[in-house]
Amino acid sequence: MDNNEIIKQAEAIPQERAAALTSRINANAKIAAETLVAIGRDLKAMRDEKLYTALGCADFGEYCDKHTDIRQRQAYNFIKCYETYGKQLSELSGIGVTKLTLMTVLDEEDREELISSGDAENLSTRELQEKIDELKSKYKQLTLDYGQVKDAKQDAEQEVDKLIAKMKALAVALKEEQDKNKELESRPVEVAVQKPSDEEIKKIQDDAQKAAEKKLKAAEKQHEKEIKELREDLEKAHNAKLVAVGEKIEEIERLKSENAVLQSNAKNMKAPDETKARVKFYISQIQNTFTEVIKTISEVENDDEKAKYKTALEAVVKQLGGAVDEL
């Protein structure tokens, strides 16, 4: 064997060992990932089926302390990860159980974004927790604001319904009063024991007629006053509703402006998670607001006013479409 062959054999030895180690590392990593799924699955079965009682343990925590090397809190983390990610957990094992557990409080879309963007793996545990807290706080505030607006709208609609019901009741009462007065007018004058003269009969009839007319006019005047007050209240409620429509249209304009800024920024860089969340929320708000505007305008009884609001809404929609085309 010459020197060149000896040198080649010597160089081949480290390469063979490195290749063997790499193969074992990858195999063990695969085993570790599958083990992570198995641990979560088995711990869940032990807890849910209370199999720990068969080993003489009073609860799941006692079982973890006495029969495993896993603390109770770690066990719950394994279970939570298994329940959230399922068999996908084996593919995410490189992120770590701690980070995967932190992300279980988010919805599936946000978790997928953190994973696909690499933030889940590259950020530190503290940085990832801060990002998750920021998302939770933002969504909580947005949900609270939307709930308050929705409650205020429902209160206004209920008040309008009450006023309409009261107005209908007054109209029924007025008709009953008018029918009663007509009955009094047509009723013959009762004859006394001593028949009154024609002049006395005529005077009684005239007095009854005048009293009926006076009572009718007083009732009509009172009802007209109440109906006028109801109409004013209804007009105020209607105007308040129209103001709400205007505010919703302004909100659409504001969202359109913010969307234009977001689209402009997106051309130069990938939008951060916060921007994506805002865009997603604002688009949802635009859809909800547009639906509420359509519903409110459709409830307007005056055709001229309805046409006016319809024209205004069409102009806003056209402006939004133009802005989207310019993106």
Q: Dihedrals φ, ψ of 124, to 5°?
A: -70, 165
Q: Give the model confidence (pLDDT) of 61-105 as tens digits.
A: 999 999 999 999 999 999 998 888 888 777 887 888 888 888 888
CA distances 102 to 99, 126, 128, Å, are 5, 10, 8
In the chain, what percentage of residues exceed pLDDT 90?
11
Residue 269 region by backbone torsions, left for phi larger than 0, else alpha for psi between -120 and 50, else beta: beta
pTM over 0.85: no
pLDDT of residue 281: 76
- When mean pLDDT is compared across 259-263, 302-306, 317-321, the lowest value belongs to 259-263
- 293 by Cβ neighbours in 10 Å (0-12 / 13-18 / 19+) ranks as buried
Q: What are phi and psi of 302, to 5 degrees?
A: -75, 120
**Interval 103-114: pLDDT, tens:** 888 888 888 888
Burial (Cβ within 10 Å: 0-12, 13-18, ≥19) of residue 210: exposed
Alpha carbons within 13 angstroms on the beta-carbon side of residue 203 total 5
Helix (H, G, I), strand (E, B) or coil at 291: helix
Per-residue pLDDT averaged across 168-175, rounded? 73
Structure confidence at residue 68 (pLDDT): 92
Enumerate residues 6+ apart whose C-beta is below 8 A from 53.
Answer: none
